[in-house]
Chain A
């Protein structure tokens, strides 16, 4: 039998081939292929994770937290009016070399200018390369916020802002603000191959890019000249494994050492495996059910409250999230400093829900569309199952929910156009600032923003949102956000369902791997036993 023979040969190969490997290699089972290696162009965690080993930012997040620390900028000074930020750049920082390109100079202010100009200046030769979509730069409102960026000498950068904004440093620590090599950009431009800039990355980070085969593998080597010290592992390999079942299997057999995004159902088994450590971290996210306040009868807050009480969220969390969910009462997760613990959650009370519906003048069966997204999101591992459970709960209080879904892009578009009556949706935080959560229920000039899928506007809520953005004092901001959470709870434009707990199983031989609340994968500082 050929198959058996092949298996036999393979076994022999495994036994023979287990010669000692001196270099320390860490294999990470990545969940997909990156779109390219320039973080500014990308929005998916998959692509950002793939570029991260190679790059640094001016300001960086402490590994495993949202605390900021100096990166390529050694220090910074914010002017008293809050509108000017001056960065002092780190010196003697080397760029990694690739097969083709050997850098001739150290990192300096020109690299910073290039990295920002590429995203902001239409005249920059790289502006349109690789599609030129700088979504994060625009999402974070940088074009409006950043009036100018200039260098005063080779190691000093001055940024001028249009208004004081407390979140600017956190923004600059995000991946889109990655610093790339201006020299490399010029080199490729002269060779007439600018698109290669985004395919073969050159950066100052802890690792140097070695090779990439689409849908198969990305290889990195430790950067011996890294300014933060050479990483403990020598080789970093991303084995691209889209199927979650396969990822778990590979982890268990030792084909990889770190595997993200296990399915909730697999977690108990992983926890029982003596070879694994299952790390977990409260995710900076919220999964919710949005009611469209622009569509009757959801314009009445009693109806929204009634539906919130009719849904058994506890059962949903047990069955959909397993151990990886935490019931949510507020928009922001309890780990955030602005969290208002005084808010009392709605109970699960179908009888009261029915009474409320009756009081609101809803008599007889109510027909609604219940939308669920067709994809798995960090804040919602299985929207379909969640919707099926809600459908069954709502039927018990006389609400007939028809389940509706669209292709993911289409879903979002229609949702933001206000076509849904009730829809599952959610948000994942980008930088740990509460503003990054509250803004999505905001209104601009009294009209709901696109991200505000509940199409709900409240003047006090919006006034507070604007005030908190400019306030420098954290106590003041806490007060403002606390008030907003009370309003949000009373008005119930969305039913907060859960903050997911993010799990990441790693093998026991992995030392000091830290999960990030921002769902970033980071391998400098990680060692192998």
Chain B
């Protein structure tokens, strides 16, 4: 599931000529974002999922961890024997599926956003340092990142979790380790391209200090591809965390994590398929809509696509 990521990082996003957006660009941006119906749909679903996650205690009909022993493996409402009490049925120990999915959105989005923020910050710091200082620093950082990228991502994440022990926080750490190199490469590449430009030269000559130069001059100009990467990275982080959860290496019970819910209910795929279907669908829908949103962002940022 990481294929498209490296592809994207080195693909169109990386080749963006990061044109400095004109100051009044928001309207322009929004209109071109709105051109893609998929992007708007994606935004709508992401917003919906986010709202569900934020207001989970208000929205969810039951507690996500309460076990209704009298209604274990209840089918969803539209099937024989289903009831409105448990709209999507209950799981193997009688917990309400809908409530768990809603709370699960919290967990998944939390993991995704945490990974995104941490990798963003670490990626920017390392990438800028690498680009600006060059020499030994650059070699060390880029080589380390290459090393990390040469290990297949899931294997690396599994190894990291095996070292740290399975938990929610460690899932975040493991997935971050896997994704940081992509941000570092992206920032370094964009920053290197910017450093050659005349306005940077001018700023240097004018005596702007290195820190200010990096943060207030160069960084804003590499922001567009970074934002796209961050949006798309969010979906990958969610998928990767779900894969870890599926292998039993993610958040621990009774946390309603989608991947773990899927793994715990694997045995019911034949007898009570809905218990397996819903968490999978939840992952799929969320990830698809985040990807649609990310694609919309990229199209909006990419002047070439806009022109064509």
Contact = CB atoms under 8 A, between A and B. Distances in A.
Do A and B touch directly, given a CB cutoff of 8 Å in the complex?
Answer: yes
Interface of A: 244-245, 248, 263-266, 268-269, 312, 315, 318-319, 374, 384-385, 387-389, 391-392, 403, 405-407
B32 interface: no
A269 B270 CA distance: 8
B269 interface: yes
B252 interface: yes
A475 B66 CA distance: 50
Nearest to A410: B165
B117 interface: no
Nearest to B69: A315
A17 B270 CA distance: 30
A403 B252 contact: yes
B211 interface: no
A407 B247 CA distance: 13
Interface residues of B, number: 23
Q: Is the interface of A mostly helix, strand, loop or mixed?
A: helix
B67 A389 contact: yes
A265 B254 contact: no
Nearest to B252: A403
A319 B72 CA distance: 8
Nearest to B95: A388
Which 5 residue pairs are nearest across A and B when measured between Cβ atoms? A263-B267, A265-B267, A392-B67, A265-B271, A265-B268
Contact of A385 (B92, B248, B272): B92
A389 B93 contact: yes
Contact of A264 (B69, B94, B267): B267
Contacts of B253: 384, 387-388, 403
B264 interface: yes
A263 B268 CA distance: 9
Q: Which of B66, B93, B254 has the most CB of A within 10 A?
A: B93
Contacts of B93: 319, 385, 388-389, 392
A244 B267 contact: yes
Contacts of B165: 406
Contacts of A263: 267
Nearest to A248: B270
B37 to A, nearest CB: 27
Contacts of A269: 270-271
B266 interface: yes
B51 interface: no
A266 B254 contact: no
8 contacts: A245-B267, A245-B270, A269-B270, A312-B69, A319-B72, A319-B93, A389-B67, A403-B253
A315 B268 CA distance: 18
A371 B127 CA distance: 43
